[in-house]
Amino acid sequence: MTHIPAITGTGLFTPEQTISNAELVEAFNAYADLFNAQHAEAIAAGEIEAKEPSSEAFIVKASGIEQRHVIDKTGILDPTVMHPLLRQRGDEEPSLMAEMGVDAATKALAAAGRSADDIDLVICAASNLERAYPAIAVEIQNLLGVSGFAFDMNVACSSATFGIQAAADMVRAGSVRAALVVNPEICSAHLEWRDRDCHFIFGDVATATLVERADAASGAHFEIMSTRCATAFSNNIRNNNGFLRRSRPDGLKDRRDMQFMQNGRKVFKEVVPIVSDHIADHITAGGIDAGDLKRLWLHQANKSMNDFIGRKVLGRAPAPEEQPNILQDYANTSSAGSIIAFSKHSDDLQAGDHGLICSFGAGYSVGSVLLRRHA
Ligand code: COA
């Protein structure tokens, strides 16, 4: 016997600290001035390039981002530091990702009227994991008091939708009654804040999504009609950090490729058609016309990219409420972005309305979840 899976609750952990574009640009430009003064001779001799200043106007125009939430702003905004100062937790303390994840998961449980006893599976799906093992998901499972099993997975910015597909398939097959898909994203720790081309892109957050049998839902919920995941290899978004770094002879520090790298222009050009076609194929296979889609909750990386995708899928410019953006407040929060949009902008849908969550990013990867609202 198979079961229909549903999303019955979501939860969101938002760090208290924010960095406005003005604060970010002021710190970056102070760092650039410092760098240029320290390397004045080499710059004059043409051996290295001077750092160009960043600009608030560029950031808003190129991305739509106005601010970001971060766990620690003091280090990021100190021109002599330029990265968050995050204490590595001791083995006897909860890890940072687990702490953020538990906060979001507890809210998702409350939203669905569920307790830890109702859950059989925890998936921690994120674009970077704080350690190799034990899995962060098993730690979250333990802190919540959930029985059953847990595992980590990483599909970069698509981690949430790939996690929801894994959870939905297990609920459908009956191997679990209910699953929490948790996405703690500490993007500030893998962003190079000294790189003008990308220093404005990311923020920190955690989201959680509760997936369970639709017939067990105690209130309004979203039936998961179908899910679809796809990947196609690309080097245009890459982070080379990994456990082999210690055995490299070329030093551990200041290797630029040990943080997030991207060829933003290429990503923009190549990913828009991949995602638009993916969504169109997915809804067609589900028997839904684009005109019947009440809402698109897209990955939040770039406003114009989302505008392009929305226009291609709907065949017209989407109204702001049809395709909500949250990246002006949160920036790109990797896998969590589309779930923040869903969490904040889904309660008003009516019974029978259809919507689609879609995330995309490094890999390349794209994942979508087709939903129908039930009262
Ligand atoms: N302040 C001022 N100028 C800046 C700047 C900054 N912070 N960063 C870059 N510039 C300059 C560049 O040097 C370039 O100058 P040039 O024309 O003299 O060479 C110019 O602005 C345009 O830069 P470009 O990188 O082409 O901008 P863009 O319009 O492509 O926007 C991104 C950059 C990253 C916002 C955009 O490409 C993007 O969002 N791509 C998709 C990213 C994505 O989805 N990634 C997935 C991550 S998970």
Task: Write down the residue that tokens 């406003």 correspond to.
Answer: 303
31 preceded by a cis bond (ω within 30 of 0) = no
pLDDT at 248: 64
**Ligand 1, pocket-test mutation among 23, 51, 56, 58, most atoms within 8 A of CB:** 58
Do the beta carbons of residue 69 and residue 204 sit within 8 Å? yes
134 preceded by a cis bond (ω within 30 of 0) = yes
Kindly list the protein residues whose Cβ atom lies closer than 6 A to any atom of ligand 1: 54-55, 58-59, 62-63, 157, 196-197, 200, 237, 262, 264-265, 267-268, 301-302, 305, 332, 361-362
**Amino acid at position 197, single letter:** D
pLDDT at 15: 98
Do the beta carbons of residue 321 and residue 297 sit within 8 Å? no
Instruction: Please report the atom of ligand 1 found closest to the CA of residue 262.
Output: 45
Reference 179, options 189, 166, 190; nearest CA is 166
pLDDT at 250: 62
Do the beta carbons of residue 127 and residue 156 sit within 8 Å? yes
Instruction: Please report the atom of ligand 1 found closest to the CA of residue 267.
Output: 41
Residue located nearest, by CA, to atom 38 of ligand 1? 264
Task: Give distance in angstroms: CA of 255 to centre of ligand 1.
Answer: 21
Residue located nearest, by CA, to atom 39 of ligand 1? 302
Residue located nearest, by CA, to atom 19 of ligand 1? 197
d(CA 210, CA 214): 11
**Amino acid at position 167, single letter:** A
Report which DSSP code applies to 5. Answer: E
pLDDT at 375: 87
Structure tokens at 270: 């190549």
Reference 200, options 269, 128, 302, 129; nearest CA is 302
Q: Which residues are catalytic?
A: 157
- The pTM of the full predicted model, rounded to 2 decimals, is 0.96
Task: Give distance in angstroms: CA of 200 to centre of ligand 1.
Answer: 10
Per-residue pLDDT reduced to its tens digit, 299-334: 999 999 999 999 999 999 999 999 999 999 999 999
Residue located nearest, by CA, to atom 8 of ligand 1? 197
Task: Give distance in angstroms: CA of 289 to centre of ligand 1.
Answer: 34
| Torsion sign across C-alpha atoms 261, 264, 265, 271 | positive
Task: Please list the alpha-helical segments (H only) found in the chain.
Answer: 21-38, 40-44, 56-63, 74-77, 96-112, 136-144, 159-173, 264-285, 303-314, 327-330, 337-344
Domains and their CATH numbers in the chain: 223-374 (3.40.47.10)
Task: Give distance in angstroms: CA of 55 to centre of ligand 1.
Answer: 11
3-state secondary structure of 241: coil
Do the beta carbons of residue 104 and residue 91 sit within 8 Å? no
Q: Residue 197 region, left (φ>0) first, then alpha (ψ -120 to 50), else beta?
A: alpha
Instruction: Please report the atom of ligand 1 found closest to the CA of residue 198.
Output: 34
Low-confidence ranges of the chain (pLDDT < 50): none
Residue located nearest, by CA, to atom 13 of ligand 1? 197
pLDDT at 335: 98
Reference 212, options 39, 2, 366, 4; nearest CA is 4
Task: Give distance in angstroms: CA of 36 to centre of ligand 1.
Answer: 22
Q: Please give the biggest Cα pair distance in the chain.
A: 74
d(CA 277, CA 309): 9
Instruction: Please report the atom of ligand 1 found closest to the CA of residue 334.
Output: 48
**Amino acid at position 72, single letter:** D
Residue located nearest, by CA, to atom 37 of ligand 1? 264
**Ligand 1, pocket-test mutation among 193, 194, 265, 365, most atoms within 8 A of CB:** 265
pLDDT at 253: 63
Task: Give distance in angstroms: CA of 197 to centre of ligand 1.
Answer: 5
pLDDT at 251: 59
Task: Give distance in angstroms: CA of 62 to centre of ligand 1.
Answer: 6
pLDDT at 323: 96
Instruction: Please report the atom of ligand 1 found closest to the CA of residue 25.
Output: 7
Residue located nearest, by CA, to atom 48 of ligand 1? 361
3-state secondary structure of 100: helix
